[in-house]
Structures are given as C-alpha cells and as structure tokens.
Structure 1
Amino acid sequence: MSDTNPVIRTGKIFIGFCLVLACVAAGAFGTQLLLSDPDGEGDGDARNRQAIRVDVTTPQMRDIDEQVTGIGSLRPVRRVDIVPNAAGRIAELPVSSLQEVAEGDLLIQLDDRTERAHLADAQATFDEAEQELQRVTQLAESNAAAQAQLEEARATLRRAEAAVMTAATATDDRAITAPFAGTLGVIEAEVGGLLEAGAPVTRLSDLTAVEVIVALPEQYYDRVAPGQSLELTTPAYPDEVFAGEVTLRGTEIDLGTRSFEIRAQIDNPDQQLIGGMFASTRLVLDTYQALAIPDDAIISEGLSTYVYTVVDDTAERNSIQTGQSLGDLTEITDGLSPDDRIVIAGWDQLSDGAPVEVAKEISAEDAQ
C-alpha cells in the first residue's frame, strides 16, 4: 500500500536526510582522528615521538696557517747557454747530452790550428822585441844609443805583447769550457760540424737548487718578505712537498694584474726538479688557533650552512660560518663553541627540535 498522505511522506524524507548528515559527520570526525593520531595512540604531542639515534662529537682546537697560494714555473738558479765566441769546425766533442760536468771541463774544441800558428808568430815577434829592447837599453847606458831609439824599442815590445794577448785569446776562444758545475742539455752538434759564432749549442744548468717565480695579489705585498718559508708541489711528484725560502719580493705592482712577483729558492740535491716545471705554491703568512669540526657534520642547503647540536636530548639547528679546509676537518669561524655536542651521524633524519638519543660519543681525535 503506497503512502498517499503528504505529511507521512515528508517525514520520511526528512528522517532520511538526517541519517545521511549523521554518516557524513561521523566520517569526517574519523578522518580527522586518524590524521591527528596515525598510530591510533590518541596523542599527537611531539613529546611522545620516538627519539632518533645519533653520534656526536665536540669541536677541536687546531693550529691553522693563514696562507696565500699561487702558481709559477721552476727554473735553475744558475743556467747559461753555451755559445761559441768564434765560428769554426768542431775538432773534439768530449761530452754528450744531459751529461754532468765539473767547472772547467772541456765541452767543445774547435779547430785552432790557424790560431795557434798566429800565437806562435806573435810570441816570436815578442821575443825579438824583448831582445831588441835589452840591446838598446845596454847601449843607452853607455850613451851609444839615443833616447828616441830606446822609446821606440819599448813601444815595439808593447805592440808585440798586445799581439800575443790577442792571439792567445783567439786560441782560447776555440776551446769552450764549463763555467760552473752542472748538467748539460741536449747537444745538437757533431765532430766535424761547423759552428757559427753566437749560436747556442746547448745549455748548462746547475740543478742543485731551483727557483720558483710566483705572482701574488697586491693585498699581500706588505706581508711577504725574504726569508719566509714556502712549500710547493708539482704534477710530476703529486705526493711530495718541497720546501723553500723566499729570496726576493718585487719592487712594483703589475698594473694589468694588480699583482707582484716573488722568487723562492728550493734545494734540489736529488735533482728531481728541473727547469720549466709547473708548480703550485703555498706561503704561510701567520699561524693562529681556531675551532674545527669533521666535514661529515656540515650540512649545506643553497646559501645556508649549518650543523645540528644536541641540547637536553633535543636537536638544535645552528647556522655556522666556515673557514679553511683542513683535510677531513673544516675551520669554523662563527656559530659554535668548544663545548657544543655536534651530530656527525644520523643528522639526515633530524629536524630542529626533534628528540634524539645519543648512541655514541666520539672523541674529537677519533672523529677525523
């Protein structure tokens, strides 16, 4: 039997509408309850969150060098091109490329037969002039010769002496010797070959010490002086550090680069370093003490750099300012104190104010 009464029909519709509203309200309440307490524990307070286990350490005081770095090139402290003063054909070549020689060793002997003949002729003329002067002097003592003859004999002897010196120099120029002990470069010459005057044959380098030339920024000019220690490395020996000493500071600033030149000498007893090598240099200007922490503790996000510290079992985010890199450590110039407990493991799960549980206290020395 259908409901024909309008009042009854309207009442049923109203009751159905109320039931629908009740269901919707119950669902919304349940959803809110689940979101506010996903574990169903009925309390979303942060105090009941599970503590995150972390490892901590404390900053350590380190001696830090204030330094300036630069790049340069090496060259022997003493080097010279071996250049003949006279042209001639090579008669002897007693040395070879890259040979070590002593001061005064013969390097190249040019054919000197003509020069020796001229020297012998000049020496004979000198001997005659000397005898003539002696004869005229004896005659002058007995008034048998005029004073004019005596002066002429003396002049002749002086000219003969000059001729001997000239011939001797020409003869000596045919023998090229080492001006100091060192190592020869490549020799592009052979016995019988013709050398031109002034054309380099090879180079002699004293490799017992080398010199590095470096350009430094103008701002460091008044802080650099001869006698300061310098260290350098080269690509040829990446694991070795060579020590030297500043020997010269330039007297002017380059207008183009706003830099000045320094030179430093490095002892090279094993002759590992050679001219032309590229060098990276480090010059210590001052030494001071500062805090340093392990690199593993430092977090960088965009322009922000920070660490987490533990205070009363709670993580605190601390913004920091970093300085020099010290291997596995980094200098901290601002933001930390020596007693701070810094998180070095487990920080990737932390947020500011999160509860923490310290799993391990690591000493500053062991944290490196």
Structure 2
Amino acid sequence: MGRVFKVLFGLCVVGACAAAGLWGTQALLSGEAEAGGPPPQSKVAVGVTRPQTQTIDDAITAVGTLMPLRTVALTPTVPGRVTAVPVSSGDQVAPGDLLIQLDDRAARATLAEAEASLAETSQELARVDELADRNTAAETRLESARAAYARAEAAVMQARAALDDLSITAPFAGTLGLIDVEPGAVLDGSMPVTDLSDLSVVQVSASLPERYYERVAPGQGVTITTPAYPDANFEGEVTVRAPQIDLATRSFTIRAEIPNPDGQLVGGMFADARLVFDTYDGLAVPDDAIISEGLTTYVYVARDSAAVRTDVVVGSSLGALTEVREGLSQDDEVVISGWDNLTDGAPVEIVDDAAAVTDE
C-alpha cells in the first residue's frame, strides 16, 4: 500500500515539474517577443512640391496645308512664237501686266483690215441712211447696208480678241511662279507657262475630329506655326466649316485665312493650326510626379509623414507640367522624387532639396 502511494506521489511531482517547465518556456518566449518585436519600417526620403496655378487653354491642334488665297495656271489659248518675256520668275505683278508676248504681226494686220472695212461700211450706211430720209433709196438697200456694217463690226471685235490672245497678262495682282520660256520659243497653246498666286492672304486647310464640330464656327481665331518659321506665330480666323462629316475618318474639314503681308508663307507648306475654345486657371504638377499603370493614373501625396496614393484625372500637357483636373488641392504636397520606393501608407521624410533625392 505504501509503495503504491509513493509511485503515485512521484508521478504527480513529475507532472507538476513538466507543467511548470512548459509555463516557464511560454512566459520566456512571450517576454522576448514583447521586449524585441519586429523592427520599425524605415522612412523613405522624398522630394515634394505643391501644385501650381496655371493659365490653361482648352485648345486643339491639327496639321494642315497652306494654300494661296487664289492661284491660276497661265496658259496661252493659241499657239505662237514667243517674242518677249518682260518678267522673271517670282516677280510681283499687278493686274493687266504683260507677262509673255507672242508674235502678233498677222493678227495686227487682220485687225487693221477689219477696221478699214468697218470704216467703209460705216460711211456707206450713213450715205444710204441719208438717201432713205429723202425717200430716194429703197428700204432693202438700207437693210443691206446695216447688215454689212454689223458684219464689219463683228470682224473688228474678232480681230481684236485674236490679237489679245497673243498677249498673256496678269488677271490679278500676285506672285509669279517659275518661268522657263525664252523669246523664240514656240508654244502649242496647251501647256502652262507659269503660275500666278495671290499670297496677300493664305488659307490653311485642316481636319478635326467629329466631337469638335459644334465648337468650331467661322470667325473663330486660329494660330499657325510652320517648320519654316518655328519661332513665329501667324494669326488668322476660320472662314469655312465643312457642312458634313467624312464617313471614313469621322472628321470634318475647316479652312482659315491668315494675312500674309510680308509674303513669308507660300502654298504647300505644312502648318500646325491651333484653335483655342476657352482659357481658364487650373492646377498643374511636374510630369515627374505622374504615375501611370494601365488605365490608372495617380500621384503620391505626403500627408502626416506618410505617403498617400491619390488617383488623379490629368488634362493638357504644359511643357514640363501636366494639368491635374481632379484629385488634388493647391495645399497638397505631391511627391516628385523618391516615389518608386513608396507604397500606400509608407512613412516618408521630406527632403528640402528635391533634386538630391535619387530614385533607387
């Protein structure tokens, strides 16, 4: 009996020791955890800036082609030999200026003969008309004299027209194109000898997307730039908006007129045409702050020493800045450097010199 009691007592002592050891181990581990814990997250150095207020244009730019206000290919209407070319390529001419003269000797002779015949028939008509007043001439003779005079008058008009056809003159004031004709050359009456362009005003033709149709109207201002004069702006206004949409491109054509008093602009030049619909004040941030992932665009804002991921809606590009239409206020501190080490909620340390922060 006593032996059994000793055995039971020993088992109880062993169990108690085991329980005490387990409890001690747990307490020890718990104490270590409370004393050390995970190391705190280190702060990320970032450079920040506040959104800037910018004057922003609600505008669209389209590539267009310049055309003279009017242009014509000058072609002789009759064949002939060139006797004079009193102008040169690129000359400025006035309406009626002689450009090319063809041999007109035969035409002048024909005109002289027609004028002589007209004078003769005119005298005959006057004589017969006087006799008719005295009732000494028959009515048929008077009618015959009148018909002869009319035919002679028509012959003079025809001879003058034929003579005029041998002189190519400027139909309006403008600038001549290249002239490769010399005296002595024989023209066949079918090939243009030069072009005449009115460059006092040039037109620009451009296509715009359909969604802008309602916003464009004649009289609207246009500014153009060209590769030939990259630092110059030329102002004009819309004169025509096409009355239909192109079904293939879903766009419409506009034409604008640009005054060209110095003759700098010529037909065929490419031009960037810019139309401004509205001007307003908005917020803009440096391009370096904008982050795009798929269809999402966002920035990081430093707030209460932490990075806050903030979705934004961007607008126009303003050189090194980008317009932000939604998502930011003027007091926000937007991260412009160091953001590639950030996650939403990460602790940050703002560095005064944003340029000193390197994105690693």
Question: Could you tell me the TM-score, scaled by structure 2's length?
Answer: 0.82
Structure 1, unaligned runs of 5 or more? 1-24, 363-368
Q: Which residue of 1 aligns with 2:339?
A: 347
Q: Which residue of 1 aligns with 2:19?
A: none
Q: Which residue of 2 aligns with 1:17?
A: none
Q: Which residue of 2 aligns with 1:70?
A: 62
Shift of 1:337: 1.8
2:265 aligned partner, one-letter code: L
Q: Which residue of 2 aligns with 1:216?
A: 208
Shift of 1:135: 1.0
Q: Which residue of 2 aligns with 1:290?
A: 282
Structure 2, unaligned runs of 5 or more? 1-24, 355-360
Counterpart Cα distance in 2 of 1:258 and 1:354:
47
Q: Which residue of 2 aligns with 1:93?
A: 85
Q: Which residue of 1 aligns with 2:223?
A: 231
Shift of 1:60: 2.7
Shift of 1:302: 4.8
Q: Which residue of 1 aligns with 2:137?
A: 145
Check conservation: 1:66, 1:287, Cα contact below 8 A: yes
Q: Which residue of 1 aligns with 2:259?
A: 267
Deviations 1:74-127 (CA, angstroms, capped at 9, x unpaired): 110111111112111101011122222222211000000011000000000000
1:92-241 → structure 2 map (5 Å cutoff): 92-241=84-233
Shift of 1:297: 1.9
Secondary structure, counterpart of 1:306 in structure 2: strand
Counterpart Cα distance in 2 of 1:172 and 1:221:
48
Question: Could you tell me the TM-score, scaled by structure 1's length?
Answer: 0.81
Q: Which residue of 1 aligns with 2:9?
A: none
The count of residues paired between Structure 1 and Structure 2 equals: 324
Counterpart Cα distance in 1 of 2:208 and 2:296:
31
2:344 aligned partner, one-letter code: D
1:182 aligned partner, one-letter code: G
1:283 aligned partner, one-letter code: L
Counterpart Cα distance in 2 of 1:149 and 1:321:
96
Shift of 1:339: 2.0
Deviations 1:177-213 (CA, angstroms, capped at 9, x unpaired): 1111211111121211111223211101111211111
The match for 2:299 among 307, 316, 321 is: 307
Matched, 1:323 2:323: no
Shift of 1:51: 4.4
Counterpart Cα distance in 1 of 2:345 and 2:73:
73
Counterpart Cα distance in 2 of 1:89 and 1:232:
45
The match for 2:235 among 243, 247, 269 is: 243
Check conservation: 1:57, 1:361, Cα contact below 8 A: no
Shift of 1:246: 0.6
CA gap 1:115/1:256 in 2 versus in 1, 3 angstroms? same
Q: Which runs of 4+ in 1 moved over 6 A?
A: none
Question: Which range moved further: 178-187 or 59-68?
Answer: 59-68
The match for 1:55 among 36, 47, 60 is: 47
Counterpart Cα distance in 1 of 2:337 and 2:207:
43
Aligned residues: CA RMSD: 2.5
Check conservation: 1:59, 1:291, Cα contact below 8 A: yes
Counterpart Cα distance in 2 of 1:320 and 1:221:
28
Q: Which residue of 2 aligns with 1:84?
A: 76
Counterpart Cα distance in 1 of 2:36 and 2:241:
76
**Percentage of matched positions with identical amino acids:** 56
Shift of 1:251: 1.6
Deviations 1:120-140 (CA, angstroms, capped at 9, x unpaired): 000000000111111112212
Shift of 1:355: 3.3
2:97 aligned partner, one-letter code: D
The match for 1:332 among 310, 315, 324 is: 324
Secondary structure, counterpart of 1:170 in structure 2: helix
